[in-house]
């Protein structure tokens, strides 16, 4: 069934953040930061892959994602839903089911044997494709996936994710420069606001209850100035990976 009567964007963001907190997909650690793929430190980490193991939350978020895309892009805007390998594949399948559309997926690179294809499933020239993934940070992987889609003769002007970091201001402009619009459910600031609300209400259990005020203050400092926060905590001899 195609969802049409769901909350507005602000409430979708709040509820999405709450669900991610509830299943412990959100990790904050200011004392021993996580290491990003760039080699730089971060007090935040999110694992959207956990969502596939929680049917009620998974179903609700896919309803949210489907209606968000239709509200923003149109009800008849797409002919094919493509998932990005690997995390985007289950979510693309669930969105395609809701929108009653064909589903395909895009490999990160050709598999090196057989047809050596990057696109799996059927994608045809002229189709309007929605790229679905779990999250985006700087949008880099989206550009590669979209390039592979466009090489088939299909068009791809939209990508939808559950979670958007929204800490690097150039991300949406970079995507826009390549003719891509980003649709998302929630960001780090939505998650932080929900976690802070748990402390403010003195709720000792439930989503976000595991985080103390000091940790959340550090997370806010990172979100306000991610590059500065990283530079202050990067080891002097550390060499970031590209």
Whole-Å CA distances, 161 to 29, 82, 103, 114, 231: 24, 12, 16, 31, 28
Structurally, the chain folds into a number of domains equal to: 1
pTM: predicted TM-score of the whole model, two decimal places: 0.89
Helix (H, G, I), strand (E, B) or coil at 46: strand
pLDDT at position 207 is 60
pLDDT at position 140 is 85
pLDDT at position 241 is 35
Residue 60 included in any domain: yes
> Do residues 159 and 181 lie in contact, with contact meaning Cβ atoms separated by under 8 Å?
yes
Residue 204 included in any domain: yes
CATH number of the structural domain spanning residue 136: 3.40.50.2020
Domain of residue 76 covers 9-230
Residue 3 included in any domain: no
> Do residues 109 and 93 lie in contact, with contact meaning Cβ atoms separated by under 8 Å?
no
Residue 235 included in any domain: no
Whole-Å CA distances, 57 to 172, 174, 185: 27, 31, 13
Residue 173 included in any domain: yes
List per-block mean pLDDT (blocks of 10 residues) for the chain, which spans 242 residues. 81 97 93 80 94 97 96 96 96 97 94 78 97 92 95 98 92 95 97 88 60 91 91 61 34
Assign 3-class secondary structure to 135-156.
EECCCHHHHHHHHHHHCCCCEE
> Do residues 104 and 80 lie in contact, with contact meaning Cβ atoms separated by under 8 Å?
yes
- Residue identified by tokens 């990005």 is 84
CB atoms within 10 A of CB 192: 21
Residue 195 included in any domain: yes
Helix (H, G, I), strand (E, B) or coil at 32: coil
């Amino acid at each position: 069934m195609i969802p049409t009567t769901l909350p507005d964007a602000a409430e979708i963001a709040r509820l999405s953040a709450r669900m991610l907190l509830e299943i412990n997909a959100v990790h904050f650690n200011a004392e021993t930061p996580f290491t990003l793929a760039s080699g730089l430190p971060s007090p935040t980490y999110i694992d959207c892959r956990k969502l596939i193991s929680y049917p009620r939350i998974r179903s609700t978020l896919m309803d949210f994602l489907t209606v968000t895309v239709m509200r923003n892009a149109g009800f008849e805007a797409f002919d094919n839903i493509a998932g990005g390998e690997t995390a985007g594949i289950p979510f693309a399948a669930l969105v395609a089911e809701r929108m009653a559309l064909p589903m395909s997926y895009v490999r990160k690179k050709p598999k090196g044997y057989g047809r050596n294809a990057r696109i799996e499933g059927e994608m045809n020239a002229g189709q309007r494709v929605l790229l679905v993934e779990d999250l985006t940070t700087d949008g880099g992987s989206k550009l590669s996936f979209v390039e592979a889609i466009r090489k088939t003769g299909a068009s791809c002007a939209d990508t939808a994710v559950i979670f958007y970091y929204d800490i690097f201001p150039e991300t949406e402009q970079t995507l826009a420069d390549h003719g891509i619009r980003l649709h998302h459910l929630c960001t780090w600031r939505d998650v932080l606001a929900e976690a802070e609300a748990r402390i403010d209400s003195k709720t000792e259990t439930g989503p976000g209850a595991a985080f103390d005020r000091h940790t959340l203050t550090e997370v806010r400092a990172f979100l306000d100035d991610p590059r500065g926060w990283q530079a202050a905590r990067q080891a002097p001899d550390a060499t970031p990976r590209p």
